[in-house]
Structure 1
Amino acid sequence: MKVAIVGCGGLGNVHADSYANIPGVTVVGVCDIVEEMAQRTADRVGAKAYVSFSDMLEQSGCDIVSITLPSYMHKEFAVQAAEAGKHVISEKPIALNLEDARAMIDACKNNGVRLFVGHVVRFFPEYVQIKQQIDGGSIGKLGVSHAKRVGGHPGEVRNWYFDESKSGGVVLDLMIHDIDFMRWAGGEVRSVFGLHKNNGLLEYATATLVFESGAVANLEAQWGYPGPFVTAAEFAGTGGVVRCDSSRSKSLQVRKSAAATGGGQFVEVPQSPGYESPYELELRHFIQCIRDNSEPVVTAEDAYKALEIALAAVESARTGKAILIGQDTREVSPR
């Protein structure tokens, strides 16, 4: 399986290193408009460097294109790759608006290729364990959950993050990780209520999700946090609580109820306490799905739904009203 990568920033190099560890996969081309960055990545994995994406599609012989570009560029390059007959693996978010997301999905479908979107939290071992605990009934019926994801402002490394039209801001770029995971763990979301504050170097948002089941999730995301990148999640049900916190040495904690028991060159990339890289696990999974035509853990439609919920959170913060999901984003008053 031959892979080409477009975008040689932090995640482009994460993809390159991950592919180098996957048997039967060869990186045959890397592309970036900054020739020096493309050449540096190419040298690391023994691939050819390109500054023209069209040239890479035509000359590299790739079967798959990994898109690790700024979010606002995902649609353009995904559609071009699909029309060239290449499978597409895109970093999240799938796009910055639903029209572009649907265009990406349709282009891949119409050209007989697969589209995968890197909602990598589904591959972090501690989050996988949480999902297993919930599905296994360890905490009973899910009631209330909380998640936070805070870190330094990526705009201090890559200036385009300050432009919401290019990055989507803290909700579409950062909180969307937890939005996707919450939907994976808790089911379909009925409504969203969001708050947002941005003063440049500090951007902070919260969102409350109400699920069709009646469960509620409270999410928090911040850029400009004066400390290390931190993630945490907690799910409380009728039978107990399951939680993880990256700031603690023990990544996963399960507490049963009494009745039941008796800085650098690139933007910061979240890490897992597990031995294996979640990014490598994710890319291995996507490659295997292409090989055996199986359904991925996270589908392109899942990525579309995560974007829909994230956009609803942004709209709610703008209007001060809750937004219903899947009903033309009709506005409703908060309960």
Structure 2
Amino acid sequence: MKVVVLGCGTMGSIHAAAFSRMPDVTLAAVCDIDGERAERLASKLGTVRYASFEEMMNAVEADVVSIALPTPLHKPYVLKAAALGKHVICEKPIAASPEDAEEMIAACRANGVRLFIGHVVRFFPEYADMSSRIEAGAIGTVGVAHAKRIGSHPGDATPWYADQEASGGVMMDLMIHDIDYMRSLFGDVKSVYALNRTGPSLDYALVTLRFHHHNAIVHLEAHWGYPGPFTTAAEFAGTSGVLRYDSSASNSLQIRRAQATASEKKVAVPSSPSYRDPYYLELAHFIGCIRSGAEPIVTEEDAKKAVEVARAAIKSAATGQVIRLDAAEVNGEER
């Protein structure tokens, strides 16, 4: 299977490197308007580079286009790839709005191609382990959860992130990881309430989600501009115990269970197991779904729903109001 990568920045480089070492996959080309950046990546991975999407697609018989461009460019290039009959792997978020996401999904279906969105957190071993333990009832029925994702401001190095209209800010670009992950556990969101503080090199958000499933409440924290190392953490409180994960702790996953035996009190998971690179796992899974026709772990509808929740959070922060998604007002419209 031949894959081309559009965008040679951080995520494009990760995608290209993963495809270059994947069995039965050929990294046929990379493309970026920055010719020097594309040339560096192409030389490193032993492929060819192009400066325009159209030039690349005219020259290469690709099966899959992997899109790692800024969010405002996701929709136009997904539509272009779909029109050419190519399967598409696109970085998150799927689009800037649920309406754009729906148009992209419809275009891919109309052209008979698959669309996959890179919500990679579900492929991190730590998060997959938490999911399996929660689903197995290790801490009973979860009523409350908290997750955080904090790091430096990407706009300091890549200016488009600092443009709230382009990136959607910390809630759309960073917190959306945890929105998708919590939806994978608890299903549809009933209501959203958000607070957001922004400034030069600062974007901090607190969001409370209430789910239909057991009326669970989830608190999400995201911070661009944190002066320390990039950190993620999650905590789940259930009817029979608590499950915790913190990327900064030496023991990355812990369970504290009511009346647990000593051997059950702590389960450790490697914090960054190189032999289980989550980006490789994610992309290999998508390639496998194209070959087999199977449904992916993260569907395009999941990706659209995550954008809907993120947009509701942005609206809540701007208005100070709780946004209810049953009768929704997302992007100012009844839904």
Which amino acid in 1 is paired with 2:113?
Answer: V
Percent identity over paired residues? 53
- Displacement of 1:272 in angstroms is 5.0
Give me the whole-angstrom Cα distance separating, in 2, the residues matched to 1:110 and 1:176: 27
C-alpha contact (below 8 Å) 1:232/1:246 kept by paired residues: yes
Which amino acid in 2 is paired with 1:207?
Answer: V
- Displacement of 1:329 in angstroms is 2.0
- Displacement of 1:251 in angstroms is 1.4
| Aligned match of 2:199 | 199
TM-score, length-scaled by structure 2: 0.94
TM-score, length-scaled by structure 1: 0.94
| Aligned match of 1:265 | none
Give me the whole-angstrom Cα distance separating, in 1, the residues matched to 2:178 and 2:236: 12
| Aligned match of 1:232 | 233
Q: Trace 1:98-137 onto structure 2 (pairs within 5 A).
A: 98-137=98-137
Give me the whole-angstrom Cα distance separating, in 1, the residues matched to 2:295 and 2:243: 28
- Displacement of 1:39 in angstroms is 1.0
Give me the whole-angstrom Cα distance separating, in 1, the residues matched to 2:173 and 2:271: 19
Give me the whole-angstrom Cα distance separating, in 2, the residues matched to 1:154 and 1:172: 13
- Displacement of 1:274 in angstroms is 2.2
Q: Which runs of 5+ in 2 are unaligned?
A: 263-269
Give me the whole-angstrom Cα distance separating, in 1, the residues matched to 2:27 and 2:251: 36
Residues 229-249 of structure 1 show CA distances to partners (whole Å, capped at 9, x for unaligned) of: 000001111011111100012
Matched, 1:9 2:9: yes
| SS of residue matched to 1:273 | coil
| SS of residue matched to 2:221 | strand
| Aligned match of 1:180 | 180
Which amino acid in 1 is paired with 2:233?
Answer: A
| SS of residue matched to 2:307 | helix
| Aligned match of 2:273 | 274
Q: Trace 1:311-322 onto structure 2 (pairs within 5 A).
A: 311-322=311-322
Which amino acid in 1 is paired with 2:150?
Answer: V
Residues 146-185 of structure 1 show CA distances to partners (whole Å, capped at 9, x for unaligned) of: 0000000001110111101111100000000000001111
Residues 83-137 of structure 1 show CA distances to partners (whole Å, capped at 9, x for unaligned) of: 0010000000001111211111011100000000000000000000000011001
Q: Trace 1:238-277 onto structure 2 (pairs within 5 A).
A: 238-258=239-259, 272-275=271-274, 276-277=276-277
C-alpha contact (below 8 Å) 2:312/2:329 kept by paired residues: yes
| Aligned match of 2:42 | 42
| Aligned match of 2:267 | none
Matched, 1:295 2:295: yes
C-alpha contact (below 8 Å) 2:208/2:218 kept by paired residues: yes
- Displacement of 1:328 in angstroms is 2.9
| Aligned match of 1:286 | 286
C-alpha contact (below 8 Å) 2:98/2:305 kept by paired residues: no
Give the CA RMSD over aligned residues.
Answer: 1.5
- Displacement of 1:45 in angstroms is 1.7
Q: Figure out how many residues of one structure are paired with residues of the other and give that number.
A: 322
Residues 282-310 of structure 1 show CA distances to partners (whole Å, capped at 9, x for unaligned) of: 00100000010000000000000000001
Give me the whole-angstrom Cα distance separating, in 2, the residues matched to 1:228 and 1:33: 31
Larger mean Cα displacement after TM superposition, 41-50 or 22-31 = 41-50
- Displacement of 1:252 in angstroms is 0.9
Which amino acid in 2 is paired with 1:62?
Answer: A
